[in-house]
Amino acid sequence: MAERIWTGDPAFRVDKAVMTQRWLYLSAIHWRVDPQRVQAMLPSGLEVDVIDGSAWVGLIPFQMSDIRAAIGPPIPYLGTFPETNIRTYVTGSKGPGVWFNSLDISRLVPVVTARLTYRLPYIWSKMSIRRSEGRLEYECRRRWPGPRGTRSLVSIEPGERIEEPTRLDHFLSARWGLYTMLGNRLAFAEVEHEPWPLHRANLLTLEDELLTAAGYPGGGMPDHVMFSPGVTVRIERPHLA
């Protein structure tokens, strides 16, 4: 399957977006994982995406901001919140995409809405993002559906801009769609945004239980760390793949 690389061409854009949002202050912390271990956790119809023989799993904390319908103003209060997701990379009938193992956010209403519409495994958590002296700290502690009390604490120091992203940088960031399950059938939703502005980053603190809660090995130092100030995103409704 050929890589889908953003060109600015309208053919790469979402024609019928149901919502727009901004993903801000995003840290991307990744580990190499045995592809067979990831494949065993995927539904029928998806194959683990690998680069240089390795699958990758990411811990991705960021600020979700200004969620709005395709037309209209941002949703007040409920449309802005911290999020942390555990994700891996897959290919399916619609091409490369993201598979989410969990998505923690701090607003209960969006958790219920996203579980009912996109069927994504959102979790209601107590969360915060603190920025000071050029550093960011992300904290998460699960409330519902759990496991209650599972936590993550990450702090990073963003560094210089990556002017020429490597093949791996691109693999871990340039994903233009997500896969999910609608009932027992695989579905796909296209995602449109400009190329990520990527920065190197120093990992200062990592105390995470979300990775192991998702079924992956945890506790080791990550193999890749990046930061991005963010992008503006348009997303379509999921359709059967």
Q: What secondary structure letter does DSSP report for 239?
A: E
Token pair 């963003």: residue: 158
- Residue 4 confidence (pLDDT) above 60: no
Which segment of 33-37, 172-176, 225-229 scores lowest on mean pLDDT?
172-176
The per-residue pLDDT for range 60-119, each reduced to its tens digit, is 999 999 998 877 777 766 779 999 999 999 999 999 999 999 999 999 988 988 888 888
Record the tokens describing residue 150, joined without a space.
Answer: 């599972």
What percentage of the chain carries pLDDT values higher than 90?
75
Work out the average pLDDT over 210-238: 93
- Domain 12-240 falls in which CATH fold? Acetoacetate decarboxylase-like (2.40.400)
Number of other residues whose CB lies within 10 A of the CB of residue 207: 10
φ, ψ for residue 32 (rounded to 5)? Answer: -75, 140
Q: Where does the chain show beta strands of DSSP type E?
A: 17-33, 47-48, 55-69, 81-92, 95-105, 122-132, 135-144, 151-161, 177-182, 185-193, 199-208, 224-236, 239-240
The per-residue pLDDT for range 103-144, each reduced to its tens digit, is 999 999 889 888 888 889 999 999 999 999 999 999 999 999
Residue 207 · residue 84 · CB < 8 Å: no
